[in-house]
Structure formats: structure tokens, C-alpha cells
Amino acid sequence: MIDRTPHHRFDLVVVGAGIVGLAHAVDAVLRGMSVAVVEQDDHAVGASIRNFGHICATAQSGHALTLALSARERWLMLGRKAGFEVRECGTLVLARAPDELAVLEEFAAERGSEQVTLGAATGPFGGVGAAHLPLDLRVDPREAVPAIAAWLAAEGVEFFWNTHVTGIDTNAVHTSRGEIHGRNMIHAVGHDVDRLFPDIAAEWNVERCRLQMLEVAPPGDVVIDAAVLTGLSMLRYDGLAAMPSAVAVRARMKADSPELLDAVMNLMLTQRPDGAIVLGDTHHYARTHTPFDDECNAELLLREGESLFGAPLTVLRRWRGVYATSDRTDFLTASPSSNVRVVSVTSGIGMTTALGLAPTVLDSF
């Protein structure tokens, strides 16, 4: 059992060992604080390892862009310290229609050559042009997230794996193994805000976004260094979606391929170290989802992937991603008490922004 006696045994207790929770542990360690991390599973299995491993900084805007650029520096630092690869290969945004190229031209004019360079579509992809976003990064989340946890443990962070949290108050985190006392507490469990804090989840209208994602065999010997975004991505990321020509892109897709908008598809991909292509994704919103996946979403995603590559694709794996979403905020940071923060990235960009968000949360104590 956990030692129940000393109060404020840790400077910070973090609930959740996904990237948002680990980001807070990282920042606390850098401040010289004593830290405990509590996780209900044996290791992270949620959104933090089910994603593309794409640190999509440049396509953000406003506060999210500020956090993403800050997080970028933390990713580079952690790659060196924790011993995992962080690839500075950027993002390739494909334009396959004139209105999409217009979006990229407007974006390049707004951001400048340091963030956006225009050119031809490269690799196996056709199109009328492309933009390269050189500041964006790539990691393998299945390697990076465990590596960060291992580095934190080596730095003295105490992990309580396979430990269920039943409550949090101003003195302790109550768990299935006893109480863990901390001066401050962070609750960072992604889409499960409502499990312990239903009123906060209701106030911010937190729902669960379910994703359909596929891993496919690479056609031929194709090698793709950068993450790849498409015209559908231009409708999803705020920096691109704010461009005037994005309205024309949406109107054309609504007329030609309304099923893509109905599925809220973001056609994008990254290539894993073993060569497999992570292809995604469709988005579906509800507080509680049916346990049944509709195969038509996978078929739609595969159809669009094959159109992108101009070749048939073989599915290796398929999975359901889930993350928190809110129509009221992109970054939920609530304070149920003076020394407890409930934190959730409610915009699907936790990997991109969490390492930048965490310092602002710790500053709030």
C-alpha cells in the first residue's frame, strides 16, 4: 500500500500518463519539483500512442500556435534527453485543385518563408502544387511516449501504474492502492474528464471524438519523410482554414464529395519507422459512442488513400482513436480548488501543444 502518513509527500501529483500528463511532469521536473504520476493502465494506451506522431505546429493559429511553437522546443530537448528520434522533416501540404493552391499561396504570404515554402508536389503524389512547413516535427508516438516516461522515472518521478483514481481533494489523490499526498494536483485524463468531474465536463460541453484510423502497407518502396496533409486538412487546421480561399475549397467539396465532409475527414498520413503508413482519419462526436464501428468509414478512408497514392493499399491494422472535444474551448484548464487543475486538450492537438501548455498551468498555482 502507498504510504498514507506524510502530507505533501510530492510537490505535484499528476493523474494520467498520456502526453498531457507527462508534459506536466516534465515541466515540474525541470523546475526541481518532486513528482508522482498515477495511471490506470500498465502503460499509456490512449490517444497519445494512437496518433500520427505529427507535431503540427505551423498550421495552428493564435494561442494554439504559441503553445505549439513552445512545445516544439520541448520535443527537441526531450528527444535528446530521453533518447528517441525527433525528425525535423516538416509537413508537406498537397494542393490537388486550384482553390487549394490558392489557400497555400495566401498562407505563405501571411506567414513568410521561415514557416511556409511553396513548390511542386513531390514523392508519389500528384497535384497542382504543395507547401512545405519546415518547422513541424515528427516522432513515433509508440516509442516517444514510453521513452519520456522512462526518462522521468530516471529523473526521480515515481510512477503508480495500474492504479485507479477514485477521487481528488485538496490533500490527496485517492486511489485503489491508497492515498497519494501532494501539494498540488493535475488531473489529465483526456476524454474522461466527466468520470471524476462531471460538472466541469458539462460546463465545457466535453464530448468524445471517435476517429477511424488505418495502418496500411506502403505501395512499392515509397519513402515519405514529411507528414502529408491534403485539402481536407485545410478545412480542419485553424491557420489554413482562416485563409479566404478555404471557403471555396469547402464549397467545392460539399458539391463534389459531401460524404467526406459528413465524415469530417482529415485525409493525412505519416510513415512509421518500419515503413507502414498511418492513414486517417474520420471524426464522430458524442459523449458516449456506440461500441460498433461502421465499416463504411474505413472503406471511405481507404478509397481516399488509394486515390492519393494512385495505387491499391493493403490494410495492416485498424483502430479507433478517441480524444476530448469541446465547442467552447480548445484547452480546458479548470480549477475545482486552489491546488487542483483539470487539464484536457479538447482540440485533437495534444501531441502538438501539451508540452507548451503545461508550463502555463503550473504557473497558475
Is 86 within 8 Å of 72 (Cβ atoms)?
no
3-state class of 139 per DSSP?
coil
Alpha helices in 83-216 (DSSP H): 98-111, 141-154, 193-196, 198-203
Q: pLDDT tens-digit profile of 200-217? A: 999 999 999 999 999 999
Domain formed by 91-134+207-325, architecture: 2-Layer Sandwich (3.30)
Any idea where the domains of the chain sit in the sequence?
A: 10-49+142-203+328-363, 91-134+207-325
- Looking at the domain 10-49+142-203+328-363, which fold is it? FAD/NAD(P)-binding domain (3.50.50)
Q: Rounded CA gap, 337 and 69, in Å?
A: 30
Per-residue model confidence as pLDDT tens digits over 39-62: 999 998 888 889 999 999 999 999
Place of cell 508534459: 23
Cβ-contact 266, 232 below 8 angstroms: yes
Look at residue 250 and give its three-state secondary structure. Answer: helix
Q: Is the Cβ–Cβ distance between 56 and 24 less than 8 Å?
A: no
Residue 293's pLDDT is 86
Check residue 8 and give its pLDDT. 55
Tens of pLDDT, residues 132-152: 999 999 999 999 999 999 999
Average pLDDT over residues 101-106: 98
Average pLDDT over residues 296-320: 95
For residue 4, the model assigns a pLDDT of: 43
- Condensed to tens digits (0 to 9), the pLDDT of residues 263-283 reads 999 999 999 999 999 998 999
Q: What is the pTM of this model?
A: 0.95
Cell reading at 85? 528520434
358 burial (CB, 10 Å; 0-12 / 13-18 / 19+) is buried
Please give the angle made by the CA atoms of 304, 305 and 307, to the nearest 5 degrees: 65
Q: Which three cell numbers stand for residue 25?
A: 511532469
Query: Which of 221, 230, 224, 222 is CA-nearest to residue 305?
Result: 230
Output the DSSP codes for 5-67: S-TT-EEEEEE--SHHHHHHHHHHHHTT--EEEE-SSSS--STTTSS--EE--TT--HHHHHH
Across all residues in the chain, what is the average pLDDT? Answer: 95
